[in-house]
Structure 1
């Protein structure tokens, strides 16, 4: 029972509560980030922490740092990111931060994957270096937006989460990943972090000190530091049984991770509409309903927040109980699994592949399918496969990075569209482009000189050592995906090649042409 006794109001708690009103609100670039700590007390110097392990993502290698330069912290060293350590060169810190925050992060999956590598890359900081780690915070925020919580958490822990801006994000990520113990311990051990009363109530409860949590909640309400709606939610979290049968408190706006976690813990309904992508990690656990798990994994893979393997684990989590949408995609994946496991004849395997590819392509997940299956498909016996199945298999192998296998399967006389795709993958010659987009992709991968002033300006950025600017500008040109303007695609591919990113340029070209299709030029 929540105890309401004025005698419980300790002087220290009242003073701490009152200070919150005078404190300036911490800046938040993401609407749902909580205000879990106050910023009226200076934070101590940073200390490095061990990075968190990642779940279902690429292997991440980190190097503990002594004196951390926050903006240089990264999870992918240059030899793994493919990006130079001097990525930013003379680009000012403020400009680099704005470029990261304003980047559209759109286009085909290969373009979005390159942007994600920039967010994770270990690089020299721009100049002048910012003591507050503004560029790191911007990178973390973009990772949070796409739902890449494990990577955001690892970046924060490598840099040291002692500053208010980084700690707020660390606290929220801990809540969303069901890993709140470390942030709550830090709140108890470091008074300079000055937690808000709702965060303190939550951490006391999670630590098993329910009496102190109840007292703190009463104090917060009595001194006006916890609003009525927040109090109602916290009270239900502390003792849900006494509120059985009572109407639920309204959904807060914005819904913070702390609000979301407490509502989930007490069985309250979720708000109408789509949740922020970062909140979907709660549905990835094995005991989540299959439909919710698949829906969450699909959104997170499409955003680039998790690796495709988590999606296919969700597709395989049970027998689809119905048809349509999610269930059709799960059934198609399971049928392809069965055909591969049983060593089915090429016709049966080809039919299963066509079914899975068509189902996932309709959801924009054809690249995820290719990454999951290309190695196994490259080793299968396709000697008797022909027609549409052979053409789609060539495309799947190219999307999955198995270009030599795709060239072998295509044979000596592929159709014109397949010849174009193989040329884009550096696996053939004599293409016959049928559209302006195909022509732009082919010439963009071989052009030496800029075709116009726009391309010349971007090449000058590369030559001046401002590769980060040039690459982000090139990726911004690709925002349209399959509907990208051919001159824009040509410019982007030329600039990426000049920046030393030819494999990315080829992957982007292949995906752009495949998504646009093989139709004739208008």
Structure 2
């Protein structure tokens, strides 16, 4: 794009920017990469034609999903007669990242193919609440895939797509989309960034100078963009103060001017940017642990980083890497004795980081295949239960520990009549009894608002994971009333094996 083209584009964009809209999302870190189109005058009135019967527009966005009912266990008529606005609000408030089993349920809700609520229009209230929840929990790849299948092309969809691209390192593709769709009304920072990404730095400078002359960039953006376009002009000057809540676009520009912003204190989605090869091993490990803990990164990617090289220090993530490497060597060699020695230390390290289920997915099959005995065999059996494997049930059932026998009862579907060991196990057993579901859940079920009943059950169980035993009972009974017996068992097993209280 040449200078003349840049000037023409600048003048076309200026009117729309004067009335730029407020942020369209409750997520306060999204870039203001696009703005609402300028209002268009209404056409002259014409005589109304007689009404004709029409099929209402299909609310395409709300039905978009990645997982079929067979994959999720959720019906297509998940939302029923519920209010789109109420459902969207409940999705936004949905608890996440307590138990991995609850996170799995949450992801099923967010990614499920369903019919739209019966009152849904075409604005996609439920769709955008699902998409923004995915962004909030750091599920960027899933959010991008949901955008892809939805076919959403409006500005508020691209705004999210642009930020996902910035954090995943695919911004060139997003900039191509922006170049091909000027109706998206890109803001000056986004346009300048994309123009520079194509290598036309002179055109980007022209756009910036035009924006400065029109007073359409604030002082902070001006300072950052100016350094981004010509860092040599500012050599020897003090660094720019980092923004309290940087957008992905600001984060990328700060990185480009040699002032990378740490992601540990930023929203979880930013951790994806640290997974690039250009980041140091420690930064990659920290980011991978955060994302794996949140349930949005394949545990095998974390395993690959743990075993990438030999730790050069101790403490924290280095100790976890060392413990995993010791166990990995034993498992790779098929050495049951060495695995039995390494397993307790690895389990302790991963428990301290709340990565137990990811650890189980890494190693449960291999450990269950080794001829271990005693406490090591019991630990391997518990890891198997965390992944849904029953290979070690016989070992646990023969254990002298009552807790192991109760775990076996949960896994085999008979906890209601099994001997309990504490208040938590009694609450779980009650949830698997024939007692009715709580009144609030029963009312939702009677109104065919199954999705809202599921969100309520997850809220109850989230409280239960923090010590609310009534929430445990009511949440499990509601899951079972929804026909989600396997999910109820996974939640119960994780409540017993993992400690998320306090």
Q: In the aligned structure 1, how far is the partner of 2:91 from the partner of 2:356?
A: 27
1:497 and 2:480 correspond: yes
The 3-state SS of whatever aligns with 1:480 is: helix
1:267 aligns with 2:258: yes
**Aligned match for 1:20, one of 8, 17, 35:** 17
- Counterpart-to-counterpart distance in 2, 1:471 and 1:517: 21
1:303 Cα deviation after fit: 1.8
CA distance in 2, matches of 1:212, 1:318: 44
Displacement, 1:23? 3.1
Deviation, structure 1 residue 506: 0.5
Over 3 Å counting, the alpha-carbon distance change for 1:483 and 1:28 in structure 2 is closer
Q: Distance in 2 between matches of 1:161 and 1:272?
A: 29
* Change beyond 3 A, Cα 1:152–1:176: same
What is the CA-CA distance between 1:411 and the residue it aligns to?
A: 5.2
Q: Deviation of residue 345 (structure 1)? A: 3.2
What residue ranges of structure 2 are gaps of 5+ in the alignment?
41-56
Give the one of 195, 212, 237 matched to 1:246.
Answer: 237
Contact 2:59–2:124 at 8 Å: present in 1 too? no
Residue correspondences, number: 482
Shift in Å, 1:215? 0.6
Aligned to 2:379: 392
1:276-315 superposed matches below 5 A:
276-315=267-306
* More displaced stretch, 124-133 vs 322-331: 124-133
> Residue 302 of structure 1 contacts residue 365 of structure 1 at CA under 8 Å; is this kept in 2?
yes
Task: Determine the structure 1 residue equivalent to 2:323.
Answer: 332
Alignment counterpart, residue 436 of structure 1, candidates 417, 423, 432: 423
- 3-state secondary structure, aligned to 1:140: helix
- The structural deviation recorded for 1:516 is 4.2
8 Å contact from structure 1 (residues 106, 480) kept in 2: no
Residue 48 of structure 1: aligned partner: none
- Cross-structure match for 1:96: 87
Does residue 234 of the first structure (1) align with residue 225 of the second (2)? Answer: yes
- What is aligned with 2:395? 409
1:458 lines up with 2:441 in the alignment = yes
Paired residue for 1:61? none
Deviation of 1:67 after TM superposition, in Å, equals 7.1
Q: Does 2:332 correspond to 1:349?
A: no
- Asked if 2 retains the 8 angstrom alpha-carbon contact of 1:68 and 1:159, the reply is no
- SS for the counterpart of 2:398 is coil
Please state whether the residue corresponding to 1:425 is helix, strand or coil: helix
SS in 2 for 1:478: helix
How far apart, in 1, do the equivalents of 2:487 and 2:235 lie? 56
Q: How does 1:25-64 map to 2 (within 5 A)?
A: 25-41=22-38
| Residue ranges of structure 1 left out of the alignment (5+ in a row) | 44-65
Q: Is 1:201 equivalent to 2:187 in the alignment? A: no
In the aligned structure 2, how far is the partner of 1:242 from the partner of 1:330? 43
Q: Deviations over 1:235-260 (max 9, x none)?
A: 22223233332222222243000000
Is 1:471 the equivalent of 2:454?
Answer: yes
Shifted more, 489-498 versus 205-214: the winner is: 205-214
Q: Which of these residues, 401, 407, 415, is aligned with residue 421 of structure 1?
A: 407
Deviation at 1:30, TM superposition (A): 0.4
Alpha-carbon shift at residue 371 of structure 1 (Å): 1.3
User: How far did residue 408 of structure 1 move?
Assistant: 2.9
Match of 1:479, SS state, is helix
Matching residue of 1:81: 72
Matched, 1:511 2:494: yes
- Cα deviation for residue 8 of structure 1 reads 11
In structure 2, relative to structure 1, the CA distance for the partners of 1:165 and 1:69 (3 Å cut) is: same
Distance 1:412 1:253, change over 3 A: closer
After superposition, the Cα gap between the structure-2 partners of 1:481 and 1:328, relative to the gap in structure 1 and judged at 3 Å, is farther
Distance 1:511 1:314 in 2: 26
**TM-score for both structures, normalised by structure 2:** 0.90
Instruction: Tell me if 1:360 matches 2:350.
Output: yes
Q: CA deviation at 1:517?
A: 9.7
Structure 2 Cα separation of the partners of residues 515 and 115 of structure 1: 19
